[in-house]
Amino acid sequence: MTPTVLTIEDQDDIRRLIRMTLEFKGFRVLEAENGTHGLAMARSEKPDLILLDVMMPGIDGLEVGRTLAADSALSRIPTVMLSALGAGTDVDAGMATGVRAYLIKPFSPWELLDLVTELTAPAH
């Protein structure tokens, strides 16, 4: 079965880069342009992985991450935070929401693919 990845990111060009990278390797990619839409899609689609931007208008990625972690139906979905904020305190704040990893922008497409492949691999 093809793993589904939900990208919650307000920047069109970054969503497009992620989609092209992941679709190239056979992933099904869903996209949300803000936290509100992303949470609704996570609830309706139950993706295998969520890629979550930190800085977005409205509900930011930290709040989305906390909401996902607090929802028993969504808390098992691995989430990766994506952000240009790379200071230790920023990474710590992101990881404190319960995400599995924190990728600092700009990240390499290979780094993204490796992480997504690892986190969507079936458990043995």
Per the prediction, the chain carries an average pLDDT of 95
Nearest to 82 by CA among 7, 23, 28, 5: 7
pLDDT(51) > 60: yes
pLDDT(124) > 80: no
- What is the pLDDT averaged over residues 38-55? 98
Nearest to 61 by CA among 83, 29, 46: 83
**pTM summary value:** 0.96
Q: In which band, very low, low, confident or very high, does the pLDDT at 1 lie, cut at 50, 70 and 90?
A: confident
Distance CA 97, CA 74 (A): 13
Distance CA 98, CA 117 (A): 19
pLDDT confidence of residue 122 = 86
- What is the pLDDT averaged over residues 68-72? 97
CATH number at residue 12: 3.40.50.2300
The share of the chain scoring above pLDDT 90, in percent, equals 97
Tell me which residue range forms the domain holding 112: 4-120
Distance CA 19, CA 27 (A): 9
- Tally of structural domains, the chain: 1
Distance CA 109, CA 45 (A): 24
